[in-house]
Amino acid sequence: MASGTYLPMLEEVERASIHERQPLPERYLGLSDEEMATRIAAARATLGTRAVILGHHYQRDEVIAFADYTGDSFKLAREIARHPETEFIIFCGVHFMAESADILALPHQKVILPDLAAGCSMADMAAPDQLAICWSELEKMGVASQVVPVTYINSAASIKSFVGERGGTVCTSSNAEATLRWGWQQKAKILFLPDQHLGRNTAWKMGVPLEDMVVWDPFEPFGGLTREQLEHARLILWKGHCSVHVRFTVQQIAAVRQQHPDVRVIVHPEVPFEVLRAADDFGSTEYILKTVRSAPAGTTWAVGTEVHLVHRLAEEMAKEDKTVLSLDSLGCLCSTMFRVSPNHLLWILEGLVEGEVHNHVVVSERDKKFAREALDRMLTIT
């Protein structure tokens, strides 16, 4: 069980990624790219410094074109501190990112998600009631006192709050190794959620044997584990995953190596363990960008992460005589991220100009308090 991977059934992914969706007004449908660009520019000019647009790396190109800043979820959330005068933070990403932004925002700032249906299937695989049951069962088995909870930033504010209240922290793919090291300094065991692959891959890189890891299945009594398994484990991995990154396979790596013998394969740490083992390198989106950008001219790279990021990187690197390919030839798309469209962005901006705030994302004060504690702990970990 420790080294097993979990491939989702399609209906599971669809069920996990559903958030409340609002229909766009009819007047925002069927617009030409030129008209949307003109109207977005006009609304932005009217709002001036009252609004800032944040665009996640995985957003479609048509949305990224209007972003003031691009980056991963936490990098974008931190941009808020640089704009204390801003009233409206428009987060072109998914729901948990907007929640993190609201946690970090100043009281007068409103965080807006252009499409409330832009969820994250991974974040939705760890529900607050499931985590509460997990912790209660760990207490019943007498191991909770040995456990510090750690949640990936790709999780709901309620999960971050639960973790923060119990002395745990948040991590990103960039600082996961430092976070695990911190966690084991606090307690003998770490409960890592919601992405089992990031936890497993990071710990393995640190030299932790797979047999010291177990997978907690929230749909099984006591996670499907025995007390003996939990007593032996150093790392308890939540049975969650990214529906984009589990699409990458060892067979894809073998195929690209056959077509391009000199290729370097770099993947995101959310991929399954066997895929990471078959790659040449792995790291966060920011690490992937830095590595490929600093590589010598004439090199060829196959990248295992979301296709929009890969395509933009390929266009950028072509000017430097570097070839960048998507490891998935069919394109590995984050379908929930794709729900944010220029049409939604235009609707949000013109609404603000008219004095209407659509899709305001608000985290409860209680969740905000403890989630902020977890995020603050993350900032102290190096």
Per-residue model confidence (pLDDT) at position 75: 77
Q: Is domain 123-243+369-380 classified as CATH 1.10.760.10?
A: no
Where exactly are the structural domains of the chain? 10-119+336-363, 123-243+369-380, 245-326
Q: Which fold has domain 245-326?
A: Rossmann fold (3.40.50)
**Strands 235-238 and 110-112, sheet pairing:** unpaired
Q: How many residues does the chain have?
A: 382
Residues of the chain with pLDDT below 50 are 1-18
Query: pLDDT digit string (tens) for 71-80?
Result: 877 678 778 8
Domains 10-119+336-363 and 123-243+369-380 equal at CATH topology level: yes
Type of residue found at 291: T
Query: pLDDT digit string (tens) for 288-323?
Result: 999 999 999 999 999 999 888 899 899 999 999 999
Question: Using an 8 Å Cβ cutoff, are 375 and 160 in contact?
Answer: yes
Per-residue model confidence (pLDDT) at position 15: 34
Tell me the C-alpha distance between 369 and 375, whole Å. 10
Strands in the chain per DSSP E:
51-56, 69-71, 88-92, 110-112, 147-152, 169-171, 189-193, 213-216, 235-238, 264-267, 281-282, 300-304, 323-326, 360-361
Which 3-state string (H, E, C) describes 336-374? Answer: CHHHCCHHHHHHHHHHHHCCCCCCEECCCHHHHHHHHHH
Crossing angle of helices 128-140/157-165, nearest 10°? Answer: 30
Type of residue found at 203: A
Per-residue model confidence (pLDDT) at position 213: 98
Q: What is the pTM of this model?
A: 0.84
CATH top class, domain 10-119+336-363: alpha beta
Distance between first and last Cα of the chain: 31
Q: In what order do the strands lie in the sheet with 110-112?
A: 69-71, 51-56, 88-92, 110-112, 360-361
